[in-house]
Structure 1
Amino acid sequence: MQTIHLSYPIQNADILPFAGRKVIAIGDFDGVHLGHREVIGRAVENARRLGVPAAIMTFDPHPRELLGQDKYSRLLSPTSYKLEVFEELGVDCTYVLRFDKALMQASPQQFVDRVLAALGVEMVVVGFDFTFGYKGQGTPDTLCELGQGRFAVEVVRPFRMNGVKVSSTAIREALLDGRPPAATELLGRSYGVRGVVVSGDKRGRQLGFPTANMDLTENFVIPAPGVYAVQVLLDGSWYQGVMNIGTKPTFHSGKVLSLEAHLLDFDADIYGSTIFVKFIDYLRPERKFSGMDELITQLKRDVDTARIKLGQIE
């Protein structure tokens, strides 16, 4: 898959890679959940049927972040991670369109003329709730009207599971409520975050449970504070583990949030390494312990419970 970064209005499109006819799926696709995959999948199917490239158009930064909606300062899938997921879906290229003031103020007509028509699209695939143009004035119906005689439009209906619409909002709520399995069901895969292992206070090693302190490399949504059963990707290999998200109240009175992963049956220096942590299940809330002995006893229980959750033992 080739990634092409663009700014509004698009100029000299004829010299861009994949110039000419194409089918394109448009959306912010935060999370690339099952509903998003339905939209992208339809674009790929149509492209193969028409014998043209399949493309995605997404936006950076997230439109709602630029509009000052604080919850979108953290994302289910920051752009670089989202691109990795796109590549798995069989698309030929992704256009990352910079969402700035000029694009935000473009009318629906201008978006069609200066973006879609400029790129020479043959078909556009969008979700039922897609909006575009100034203040989201454009809807799928608007897109169909403006595209007449220039490109076809397919609108994908809501994707539902057990009668509930799959949405990025529902996934965020599941994670912020400490319900990773619910997020997994909606995403079609386990939710994860990526970061670099940095030096901490090394108290975990003193307790007999060394931890990898994680500094997130991008603005991922952080699940609710608590202790989780996790899987950790390190140097191409997966490890089972336990992660604590919280402020470590037994030892600190501050409110600085930290992410610490204890890898089961593992003992190596991995400072500076990049790890990817998938959240499998929630074990318990973070709490303050009376002392080291009580904490160690609980940590042992956490490891035993995590092994069960992760399928190591019955």
Structure 2
Amino acid sequence: MTQPLVLTDWHALPPGLRGATVALGNMDGVHRGHRAVLAAAHAARPEAPLAVLTFEPHPREHFRPEDPPFRLTLLPAKAAALGAAGAALVMALPFDAALAGMPAERFFQDVLREGLGAVHLACGQDFAFGHRRGGDAGTLSGLAEAAGIGLTIVPPVTDAQGPISSTRIRRALQDGYPERATAMLGRPWEIRGEVVHGDKLGRVLGWPTANLWLGRHLEPARGVYAVTAMLPDGREVKGVSNIGRRPTLGGDPETRLETYLFDFSGDLYGQEIGVRLRHFLRADAKFDGLEQLKAAIAQDAEDARAALAQDP
């Protein structure tokens, strides 16, 4: 999988990257529907480079900064997933007041036509752009036709419950159904982050953990999960994670992800790992003391091994 080039400025694009076919959208999660938009863009002009135009931060983070974190993928993970789907270029436009205030027609003219020199565009049916979301797929269709640029409007990818969307994936994770999220994403949902120092209590209990803060990631249902973790050396190892605020230990101000990796020894502090949620085992609970907690962790590890053994 090639890592795409990530740029944040559409001005003075290198000539080799102009003339791309461009997939448009926030692409949070890079789920099966997003990948259908990329596939349609590529299929329309397979000889052209495939680019994705997205926004960073997510427009919702700009307009509603007080909202709880909701992101499925932060930019590095999103770019990697887009690269895996064939994108050579990810144009992550800084979403600020200037971009938010840009009328739809000017966005089309300045960014897509002049800036990127797009030869073809692809978007989902619900794509909206420009000041106050003034432009939609219909607007884009008229502008593209007048400019002689091709456009593919891609219908949603659906499952038994309806169109696949980032909103549905978030809800599945918040409700404790990571398997449903996996089915819609086409891969397990992953939290990527740097391993930070905890209070070393896991080591004392006999279950040393790799700790990550959730940061700007969505907070899924608190509790215990069977997981696999992607290590910096490329290995994927099985484990058990707790997502919560450690009520037994007096509570934390922030939610943390603590992962015990099976059959692993090594120092991961300061390194980035990705923890993939496979199965929800039980809700967060408060125990009467460390002995009860220790017994619960041992049972969780056993349950996680059993759940992961069932995976194909």
TM-score normalized by the length of structure 1 = 0.91
Q: Distance in 2 between matches of 1:86 and 1:200?
A: 33
**Selected match of 1:121 from 112, 118, 139:** 118
Q: Distance in 1 between matches of 2:266 and 2:85?
A: 35
Q: How many residues align?
A: 306
Residue 127 and residue 313 in structure 1: after superposition, are their counterparts in 2 closer, same or farther (change >3 A)? closer
1:105 equivalent to 2:70? Answer no
AA aligned opposite 2:125: F
Structure 2 residue matching 1:245: 3-state secondary structure: strand
Whether the 8 Å CA contact 2:195–2:273 is kept in 1: the answer is yes
Post-superposition offset of 1:172: 0.7
Superposed CA RMSD in Å reads 2.0
Provide, for residues 64-84 of structure 1, a one-character-per-residue CA deviation record: whole Å limited to 9, x for no partner: 111116447441111111111
Structure 1 residue matching 2:153: 3-state secondary structure: strand
Work out the percentage of aligned pairs sharing the same amino acid.
37
Point out where structure 1 has 5 or more consecutive residues left out of the alignment. Answer: none
**Selected match of 2:79 from 65, 76, 83:** 83
Once structures 1 and 2 are overlaid, which stretch shifts more, 300-309 or 198-207? 198-207
Q: Which residue is equivalent to 1:59? A: 55
Q: Distance in 1 between matches of 2:276 and 2:36?
A: 23
Structure 1 residue matching 2:259: 3-state secondary structure: strand
Q: Distance in 1 between matches of 2:181 and 2:118?
A: 34
Q: Distance in 2 between matches of 1:86 and 1:172?
A: 19
AA aligned opposite 1:83: A
1:142 equivalent to 2:134? Answer no
Structure 2 residue matching 1:149: 3-state secondary structure: helix
Point out where structure 2 has 5 or more consecutive residues left out of the alignment. Answer: none
**Selected match of 2:151 from 120, 128, 153:** 153
Q: How does 1:219-238 map to 2 (within 5 A)?
A: 219-234=216-231, 235-238=233-236
AA aligned opposite 2:157: F
AA aligned opposite 2:52: I
Once structures 1 and 2 are overlaid, which stretch shifts more, 268-277 or 79-88? 268-277
1:3 equivalent to 2:1? Answer no
Structure 2 residue matching 1:276: 3-state secondary structure: strand
**Displacement over 3 Å in runs of 4+:** 10-13, 69-74, 253-256
Post-superposition offset of 1:11: 4.0
Whether the 8 Å CA contact 2:69–2:219 is kept in 1: the answer is no
Post-superposition offset of 1:121: 1.4
Provide, for residues 205-260 of structure 1, a one-character-per-residue CA deviation record: whole Å limited to 9, x for no partner: 221111112235x6222312101111011121111111111121112145442221
Provide, for residues 115-162 of structure 1, a one-character-per-residue CA deviation record: whole Å limited to 9, x for no partner: 111022121101000001111111111111112231121100111011
Residue 11 and residue 242 in structure 1: after superposition, are their counterparts in 2 closer, same or farther (change >3 A)? closer
